[in-house]
Amino acid sequence: MRGRRAVLLAALLALAGCAERPPGDGPVTLVFKHARILGPADPFPGLLAEFAAAHPGVRVTSESLPWSSDEQHQFYVINLEGRSPGFDVMMLDVIWVPEFARAGWLLDLTDRVRPEELAPHFASTVAAATWAGRVWALPWNMNVGLLYYRADLLAKYGLRPPETWEELEAAVRTIRAGERDPRLEGYLWQGKQYEGMVVNVLEALWANGTRLLGADGAVFPEPARAVEALAHLRGLLATGVSPRWVTAADEELSRRAFGDGRAVFLRNWPYVLDLVEAPGSAVRGRVGLAPLPGRVRGAGAGSTGGSHLGISRGTRHPDLALALVRFLTGERAQRAMATGAALYPTRTALYRDPALVARNRWLPRIHDLMLAGRPRPVTPSYLLLSTTLQPELSAVLVGLKPPARAIADARRRLDYFLASRR
């Protein structure tokens, strides 16, 4: 028995890197802040127990944050500005890395992380962890915007997954007319005034052949195309292709309605797939996924997202915190997260892993969609962009402001704010 325990401990040491005793005589507690983990099983307790076994005298306290990305950001800013945040490792939305790095809140990992450690991850996730030529975090999980559809309903009416806005709207009209079910909605997405709405608008901009920031930093460099994209989203609501309650919908509200069988199409992230295919799901075995449609075929692209793990610059245990980050972003931990949680890995090889593909046949497809995704603007001013845009975009969606006026007002405000930061 002792021999078997010794072998197990040696294996755990290898998995977590090198075993490291905490400094001083007393035990060390590392505090890890993260978003709530969704999925069929929570792998965290087992993973953290493995890390603790490989690092005697070290305990990891796992503390979850609110669901909303905006609330998570607010929590971090309030605590990190105080320089004694009370946590060591933090789960970061990819868009926060430049802002947090410039603010001096993150430990610079450039001289601690070798290039070969970053090579197994999607290149886009490594780029999102880098700012001003320095590495500030390690990639942990990845997201991309996807179109979910009721495969059974499309097949029933001889329809293919839509590749254009026009095809999606036509499919909604055909299926709803045939089903004659007043509870069946058409296309669900995230239109609540928060970051998720901005992501949906960015995807509409890309689908219409334009973007938020030009190469020279200009806001809405092609305003006419931006107006068209915003008018399209408003039109989905005005014509009933999307229900008006979409203007109050986040990821979970829209996901639950689709998962209950009350919609034909849904724009959301990959985590939804694990939930709609779970035992007891009303739509299990009846869902397909595709790229987001564009104004013309091939123009649609989903926004990439996901999370990195960063280390507070104020941590008293930088080496141990880095050991934890390395362990949680390593192959074994990412495999466990892909199996038990609704999180998709940043390590590209796992999308071709036979055991994982056997559990989730969509992995190779999602891998390709991840590669085809587009990032949100990588800038320390992203939060300023988002919070300035949100009320303008929301006013259009609820019908209080014409798209052209909202785009003009947003351009004027952002040009002023960004110029003052230069």
Listed range (93-102, 336-345, 368-377) with the worst mean pLDDT: 336-345
311-324 pLDDT, tens digit each: 999 999 999 999 99
The CATH superfamily assigned to 146-302+381-421 is: Periplasmic binding protein-like II (3.40.190.10)
The DSSP string of 127-182 is: HHTEETTEE--EEEEEEE-EEEEEHHHHHHTT-PPP-BHHHHHHHHHHHHHHH--T
Per the CB < 8 A criterion, the answer to whether 300 and 131 are in contact is no
Structure confidence at residue 172 as a pLDDT band (50, 70, 90)? very high
- The residue ranking higher by pLDDT, 16 or 233, is 233
Structure confidence at residue 40 as a pLDDT band (50, 70, 90)? low
Structure confidence at residue 31 as a pLDDT band (50, 70, 90)? very high
> What confidence score (pLDDT) does residue 387 get?
93
* Closest alpha carbon to 12 in 58, 53, 43, 57: 53
> What confidence score (pLDDT) does residue 38 get?
65
| DSSP type of residue 331 | H
* Mean pLDDT, residues 7-29: 49
> What confidence score (pLDDT) does residue 350 get?
97
> What confidence score (pLDDT) does residue 8 get?
33
Other beta carbons less than 10 A from residue 234's beta carbon: 21
275-299 pLDDT, tens digit each: 999 899 999 999 999 999 999 988 8
* Closest alpha carbon to 206 in 125, 296, 96, 305: 296
> What confidence score (pLDDT) does residue 421 get?
64
Q: How far apart are CA 239 and CA 216, in angstroms?
A: 37
Other beta carbons less than 10 A from residue 242's beta carbon: 28
- Does residue 370 register a pLDDT over 70? yes
- Does residue 16 register a pLDDT over 70? no
Cβ within 8 Å of residue 94, ≥6 positions away:
125, 128, 129, 304, 305, 306, 307, 308, 375, 376
- Does residue 39 register a pLDDT over 80? no
Structure confidence at residue 417 as a pLDDT band (50, 70, 90)? confident
Q: How far apart are CA 107 and CA 130, in angstroms?
A: 12
Q: How far apart are CA 274 and CA 325, in angstroms?
A: 25
The whole-chain average pLDDT of the chain stands at 90
Cβ within 8 Å of residue 12, ≥6 positions away:
50, 53, 54
> What confidence score (pLDDT) does residue 216 get?
86
> What confidence score (pLDDT) does residue 24 get?
54
Handedness of CA 366, 310, 34, 213 (dihedral sign): negative
Q: How far apart are CA 228 and CA 142, in angstroms?
A: 30
> What confidence score (pLDDT) does residue 2 get?
38
Query: Domain locations in the chain?
Result: 2-143+305-372, 146-302+381-421
Q: Cα separations (Å) of 160 from 121, 349, 364?
A: 33, 30, 20
120-132 pLDDT, tens digit each: 999 999 999 999 9
| DSSP type of residue 247 | G
| Domain boundaries 2-143+305-372, corresponding CATH code | 3.40.190.10
Q: Do 146-302+381-421 and 2-143+305-372 have the same topology in CATH?
A: yes
- Does residue 163 register a pLDDT over 80? yes
| DSSP type of residue 305 | E
326-336 pLDDT, tens digit each: 999 999 999 99
- Does residue 19 register a pLDDT over 50? no
- Does residue 266 register a pLDDT over 90? yes
* Mean pLDDT, residues 370-379: 91
* Mean pLDDT, residues 15-30: 58
> What confidence score (pLDDT) does residue 148 get?
98
174-195 pLDDT, tens digit each: 999 999 999 999 999 999 999 9
> What confidence score (pLDDT) does residue 4 get?
38
Per the CB < 8 A criterion, the answer to whether 313 and 107 are in contact is yes
> What confidence score (pLDDT) does residue 28 get?
93
Laid out side by side, the sheet with 185-188 consists of 185-188, 263-268, 146-150, 287-290
